[in-house]
Structure 1
């Protein structure tokens, strides 16, 4: 049995793609997943499954959400190691007076190389900063996530990927839940 964390992008945001987590949990249990747990309303779902491959599991969930609610919801499945890397390898933590309220993580649908950072054209979103680490981007906002052009849509467009973002507190809590 494998534990997977599915990150659903774009649900319950500004009244769009509304899915109650209790309803999502019921759907996933009907699909045969066990120990289904959700965290907050933004689409963080743990499931236990015999399915080894996260991408296959994410695709199955995406199909069922479309059948049930008619929403085309991108899903990225991340591992416990992905979450640990976010918290342990974050280059911005080394800075004096690092403010975790301005640190975000973008999870990407495919592995990127370090040269992909050029495609992001960071000069267009200064003073925000980013570092690519395989299928994650460490983001440091100068002011905050609500006051920037450098969001998940910008990243998706520049890198031609599916992406979803989570803040420091959410990633910290999700790792705690993985360890439960």
Structure 2
């Protein structure tokens, strides 16, 4: 069995795409996923399956959400190594006096070239800062996530990708849950 982490974008936010995690868990178990567990209400779902291919797992989850709840929800599936890379490759963590409350990670639907940072036009969102690392964008907000235009929609528009963002506390907890 392989454990996959599915990040669902845009559920239970501002009254949109509402679904209870217990109902989601049951729906995913009904299509054969094992050991389904969730973390908070915003769509972090671990599943165990014989399926190795992350894209296939994401497609199955996306289909079942649409069938059961009627929501078209983007799904990005990660491996444990993707979360571990958040700790080893994030240069913002290495800076003196790093405030992890202002650190976020945007998980992207495809691998990005390091030159994609130019496409983000960071001068338009200063003083926020970002670093691209494969299929992740490490973000350091100057004030906070609620007061920036450098959000998931901005990233998706500039890079023509699907993205979902998690705060540093969530990243930390999800990595801990992989070990459980």
TM-score (norm 2): 0.99
List alignment gaps of at least 5 residues for structure 2: none
How far apart in 1 are the matches of 2:48 and 2:146? 34
List alignment gaps of at least 5 residues for structure 1: none
How far apart in 2 are the matches of 1:3 and 1:63? 19
Task: Give CA-to-partner distance per residue, 1:77-121, whole Å, 9 cap, x none.
Answer: 011011011122210012110000000000000000100000000
* Deviation of the 1:159 alpha carbon: 0.2
Q: Is the 8 A contact 2:33 2:48 kept in 1?
A: yes
* Deviation of the 1:68 alpha carbon: 1.1
Q: How does 1:30-41 map to 2 (within 5 A)?
A: 30-41=30-41
Q: Does 1:87 align with 2:90?
A: no
Indicate the residue corresponding to 1:116 in structure 2: 116
Q: Does 1:103 align with 2:103?
A: yes
Indicate the residue corresponding to 1:125 in structure 2: 125
Task: Give CA-to-partner distance per residue, 1:24-82, whole Å, 9 cap, x none.
Answer: 00000001000000000000000000110111100111011111111100000011011
How far apart in 1 are the matches of 2:89 and 2:133? 9
User: Per the alignment, in what secondary structure is the counterpart of residue 142 of structure 2?
Assistant: coil
Indicate the residue corresponding to 2:163 in structure 1: 163
Q: How does 1:61-76 map to 2 (within 5 A)?
A: 61-76=61-76
Structure 1 runs (4+) deviating above 2 angstroms are none
Number of aligned residues: 180
Query: C-alpha root-mean-square deviation of aligned residues, in Å?
Result: 0.5
How far apart in 2 are the matches of 1:6 and 1:126? 31
How far apart in 1 are the matches of 2:176 and 2:49? 19
TM-score (norm 1): 0.99
How far apart in 1 are the matches of 2:87 and 2:169? 10
